[in-house]
Amino acid sequence: MKIGLIQMDVVDDKKENIKKAKDMILEAHDQGAEIIMLPEMFNTPYQNDKFSSYAETETGETVEFIKSTAKELKILLIGGSIPEKSDGKIYNTCFIANESGKIIGKHRKIHLFDIDVKDGITFFESDTLSPGESTTVIDTSFGKIGIAICYDIRFPELFRKMVLEGAKYFFIPAAFNTVTGPAHWEILTRTRALDNQVFLAIVSPARSEILKYKAYGHSLVTSPWGAVLSELDEKESVLIVDINSEEIDRIREELPVLKHRKSNIY
Amino acid sequence: MKIGLIQMDVVDDKKENIKKAKDMILEAHDQGAEIIMLPEMFNTPYQNDKFSSYAETETGETVEFIKSTAKELKILLIGGSIPEKSDGKIYNTCFIANESGKIIGKHRKIHLFDIDVKDGITFFESDTLSPGESTTVIDTSFGKIGIAICYDIRFPELFRKMVLEGAKYFFIPAAFNTVTGPAHWEILTRTRALDNQVFLAIVSPARSEILKYKAYGHSLVTSPWGAVLSELDEKESVLIVDINSEEIDRIREELPVLKHRKSNIY
């Protein structure tokens, strides 16, 4: 089972972003990827002053692109995220299209990125975005997958809930920065995978030389044992990772933490 | 606030182990440690065929040693763990004594270490031990501390529960091995601290050249930012770490994940 991660260099032009996404998806498909994931906010710069003008409804051109590309290539396409307009609000939303080009689920980022690290990074998504209100576990041809977006990864309860609902894979469009990335990206991704004994794939935009927000990059896939299977640096690239889904059951048998939970205590 | 971790080389002789613990506690105290922690099963080899003969009740000589040493040195002593005999069962129990020599809490390991990793490590604590049934958060002169023992660390819900009960420090007597240690010790400790924005101290026995069970060692302290402040190798040693408790509130303000939890969703 081959996963393709699209670490693309996002620019301040929606059509260019969609074109770049398409080119890189084709490259991943050529290399055999069957599940392909785009990064968080792949059609827009990651800036509060851009989200509104780039936003579209679920019948907009970006969602159409996700559907048609999935159908054309017969892939499961996890469409990163885009600013989604709905009921006068804007959400940070991931649309997922199956091999027939049908939207089989969407995840609205639950936890908005509102942080203020002195001499580090300040960002308040809630200035422009509204939060999602539910977890997202989807049936696919590869089994059940759980979706989270970026800052959602900081909440272990969310991942535990998804795994108890049957998720065997976590897919996470993200855009960490150069402050929290080096400090937290790897331990969070490895530990969420290890605690829940799933494969976890996370994809970031490449680090832009032009845009204000400096994404961390370092898209990666971890195993259910919490090991990094493959990881990019900060530059634009496609990452292809071949995973063996039998590893999930083997590790759940050898180190049965999910059976050892004491739900009467917590 | 100075923490002292006692990474001692445990042997197959209870009196020797207690004497070694005392000597190393004195060394940590001489270096200014105010909170001192012993490792998991510090008075016995970590072997199922030893736990029963080394076990004692809470009026036994090891608990008396913990109380009298805490009182003599006016320290908060987190007494690692010992096999505790009670009601015909044996528990893996941590006794905590305050500066007056009073036992102010005890934690019985909740999650027993029953794993069978092929070509790796096989151990079934439940062959001889019984599990604890409750979480342990204790008021101390340094604030609230949460206690867990070794395999308990694999359960993120336990740590979240302790932090929601007010814990600002996690203290963990442990004895990982040379298979799971290199793979998981650092990411688990760093992520539990980061997710809950607390200081976390974990202490292991030194790696024995004689006993069957090969402990990982690598006792360490992490910050609420998920950084390792200081870490030992596998050899016998005392680790002294000076921490600034103001860091907890600062990080909880800059990156307010505990406020961002959505308890209506999970």
User: Which residues are paired to B83 by β-bridges?
Assistant: B92
Q: Residue A20 — very low, low, confident or very high, per pLDDT cuts 50/70/90?
A: very high
pLDDT at B115: 94
Q: Do A187 and B155 touch (CB under 8 A)?
A: no
Q: How far apart are CA B262 and CA B260, in angstroms?
A: 6
The mean pLDDT of A185-202, rounded to a whole number, is 98
Residue in A115, A155, A191 nearest the CB of B187: A191
Q: Are B266 and A157 in contact (CB < 8 Å)?
A: yes
Cβ contacts of A194 on chain B, cutoff 8 Å = 184, 187-188
Grade residue A142 by pLDDT with cuts at 50, 70 and 90.
very high
Query: How confident is the model at residue A75, as a pLDDT?
Result: 98
Q: Give the distance from residue B34's alpha carbon to the nearest chain A alpha carbon, in angstroms.
A: 29
List the domains of chain B with CATH numbers. 2-254 (3.60.110.10)
**More confident position, B89 or A119:** B89
Interface pTM (ipTM) of the complex? 0.97
Cβ–Cβ of A266/B157 closer than 8 Å? yes
State both tokens at A95.
Answer: 């649309």
- Three-state SS string across chain B, please? CEEEEEECCCCCCHHHHHHHHHHHHHHHHHCCCCEEECCCCCCCCCCHHHHHHHCECCCCHHHHHHHHHHHHHCCEEECCCEEEEECCEEEEEEEEECCCCCEEEEEECCCCCEEECCCCCEEEHHHCCECCCCCEEEEECCEEEEECCHHHHHCHHHHHHHHHCCCCEEEEECCCECCHHHHHHHHHHHHHHHHHCCEEEEECCCCCCCCCCCECCCCEEECCCCCEEEECCCCCEEEEEECCCHHHHHHHHHCCHHHHCCCCCC
pTM of the model: 0.97
Mind listing the pLDDT tens digit for each residue in A168-183? 999 999 999 999 999 9
User: How close A180 gets to chain B, by Cα (Å)?
Assistant: 10
Per-residue buried b or exposed e for B7-36, using 16+ beta carbons within 10 Å of the residue's own CB? bbbbeeebeebbebbbebbebbbeeebbbb
- Does residue A186 have an active-site annotation? no
User: If you average pLDDT over residues A111-126, what whole number do you get?
Assistant: 94
- How much is the pLDDT for A123? 95
Q: Determine whether A72 is an active site residue.
A: no
pLDDT at A248: 98
**Considering only CB atoms, which chain B residues are within 8 Å of A256?**
114-115
pLDDT per position in chain B (266 positions), as tens?
999 999 999 999 999 999 999 999 999 999 999 999 999 999 999 999 999 999 999 999 999 999 999 999 999 999 999 999 999 999 999 999 999 999 999 999 999 999 999 989 999 999 999 999 999 999 999 999 999 999 999 999 999 999 999 999 999 999 999 999 999 999 999 999 999 999 999 999 999 999 999 999 999 999 999 999 999 999 999 999 999 999 999 999 999 999 999 999 99
